[in-house]
Amino acid sequence: MEVSGWGRFPKTTAEIIEPVDSASLKKIVLAQNKSDSLICRGAGRSYGDSSLASRMLSSRFLDSFLALDEKAQTIRCGAGVSLDAILKLCIPRGLFLKVVPGTRFVTVGGAIAADVHGKNHHQDGSFCDYVQNFSLMLASGEIVICSEQENSELFHATCAGMGLTGVIVDATIALEKLSSASIRQHSLVANNLKECFELLEANNGSKYSVAWLDCLSRGDELGRSLLFLGEHDEENESRAKLKYRSRGGPGIPFSTPAFLLNRFTMAIFNNSYFNLKKRSKQESIVDYDSYFFPLDNIGNWNRLYGSKGFLQYQFVIPTDAAFEGISKVLSKVSAAGKGSFLSVLKKFGKQNKNLLSFPREGYTLTLDFKREEKIFPLLNELDEIVLDHGGRLYLAKDARMSEAMFKAGYPEWERFLQVKNRVDPSSMFSSLQSNRLGLS
């Protein structure tokens, strides 16, 4: 069948295999032809080709809850369990995930494979910092337990390893105590990128922070933005009940005509959104789902970019070079008129020990681009800016990065390959992405 990532580019024809337990998974792995590529796939929410291969192992049925220890604040579950399912179980019990990405529909296995991050990385790090251990099936069919203390080298290669070391079967994750499911949100206006950086630094003590940027603004308004700070609303526990929420908003039933997305329509949207939010209340109480997962309320929102799909371009630049590098990227994007509705800036804290983990201390910018031939030369130019400023791209969003770009941005790639070659000497676990980047 034809499959793709969330960006709907690239597409490939693949065989989808759906093991129901570890026993059936082992049979599949042992029967795998070493010349064929095999990769695990969760909910399909990575944007590019990191979960695409000729044969794909779906974790759809590896979705059992195995243990919930409310006292120790941990949960053990199958790799196919979604973060949404965890929140549905845990929020009424006063527990919450320590790190959530921009969608609740990723699986636990996918969150570990990409070492996803959220709006609180500057304080709390990334998802894998709270993974206590996981079971990993190797190419040999053996299942090993990995943690900081046990098989630690394999642990740090698998976290953010994009499924290339084996198949995550289940995992134990640390949770945090929660007394309110609502978020106290504080909105601030930045008239340009400099003001946005200053506000992010001044509010570094806020647990959650994210800025929406108008990537088409120019001149003195380059990088004008809206900063959304957040804290769990602990002051109003009676009003903010511990209730799981799953708002079903409108869905996009078909791919919209690509010509509707152009610099004029995006400029109108960005200008309207900026001015509307600028006039809105600065303080508000919002549901956790609307703060953390705003796009989840629009079904199939990826269809808005047309049938050819889109590319999400996310990079991080170290703190000292971040303002200059991001200013150059925004200037290039604005001049080309190829900006997006979704332009998000966040601050990262210290990087962890995972060999291919994306976050590092600095600033990360995310941009969406409608797929068209003219966009690829622009992205190549952005690559040069990112590299010149010591940055790198996010593997979970990537669909076209060069091998040279990858290896320059991820200095631990050789150590990762050493671990992979030891546990998967024939490189059975590989993807379109890993082949392109020289990892398989």
Q: Is the pLDDT of residue 161 over 50?
A: yes
Contacts of 133 (CB under 8 A, 6+ apart): 145, 146, 147, 150, 155, 171, 172
Indicate the average pLDDT of the chain.
92
Q: Is the pLDDT of residue 440 over 80?
A: yes
Beta 74-78 vs 55-58: how paired, if at all? unpaired
Radius of gyration of the chain (CA): 21
Q: Is the pLDDT of residue 227 over 70?
A: yes
Q: Is the pLDDT of residue 169 over 50?
A: yes
Q: Is the pLDDT of residue 289 over 80?
A: yes
Q: Is the pLDDT of residue 223 over 80?
A: yes
In this prediction, residue 91 carries a pLDDT of 95
> Look-up: residue for tokens 């709907």?
8
Instruction: Kindly indicate the confidence band of residue 249, based on its pLDDT and cuts at 50, 70 and 90.
Output: low
In this structure, of 167-176, 256-265, 415-424, the range with the lowest mean pLDDT score is 256-265
Share of the chain above pLDDT 90, in %: 80
Cα–Cα distance, 188 to 185 (Å, whole number): 10
- For 306-341, b where at least 16 C-beta lie within 10 A, e where not — what string? beebbbbbbbbbbeebbbebbbbbbbebbebebbbb
- Read off φ and ψ for residue 262, nearest 5 degrees: -145, 175
**Looking at residues 291-296, what average pLDDT do you find?**
92
In this prediction, residue 262 carries a pLDDT of 72
In this prediction, residue 247 carries a pLDDT of 66
Task: State the CATH class of domain 182-402.
Answer: alpha beta
Instruction: Kindly indicate the confidence band of residue 253, based on its pLDDT and cuts at 50, 70 and 90.
Output: confident
In this structure, of 182-196, 277-291, 312-326, the range with the lowest mean pLDDT score is 277-291
In this prediction, residue 416 carries a pLDDT of 98
CA angle 425, 430, 433 (to 5 degrees): 135
In this prediction, residue 436 carries a pLDDT of 98
In this prediction, residue 297 carries a pLDDT of 83
What pLDDT digit, counting tens, does each position of 342-399 carry?
Answer: 799 999 999 999 999 999 999 999 999 999 999 999 999 999 999 999 999 999 999 9
What pLDDT digit, counting tens, does each position of 71-102 carry?
Answer: 999 999 999 999 999 999 999 999 999 999 99
In this prediction, residue 259 carries a pLDDT of 62
Q: Is the pLDDT of residue 137 over 80?
A: yes
- Read off φ and ψ for residue 136, nearest 5 degrees: -125, 125
In this prediction, residue 238 carries a pLDDT of 47
Q: Is the pLDDT of residue 113 over 90?
A: yes
- Read off φ and ψ for residue 37, nearest 5 degrees: -90, 145
In this prediction, residue 258 carries a pLDDT of 62
The tokens describing 435, both together, are 């082949």
In this prediction, residue 254 carries a pLDDT of 64
Q: Is the pLDDT of residue 239 over 60?
A: no
Share of the chain above pLDDT 70, in %: 93
**Looking at residues 154-183, what average pLDDT do you find?**
96
Write down the domain spans for the chain: 182-402
Instruction: Kindly indicate the confidence band of residue 180, based on its pLDDT and cuts at 50, 70 and 90.
Output: confident
In this prediction, residue 248 carries a pLDDT of 63
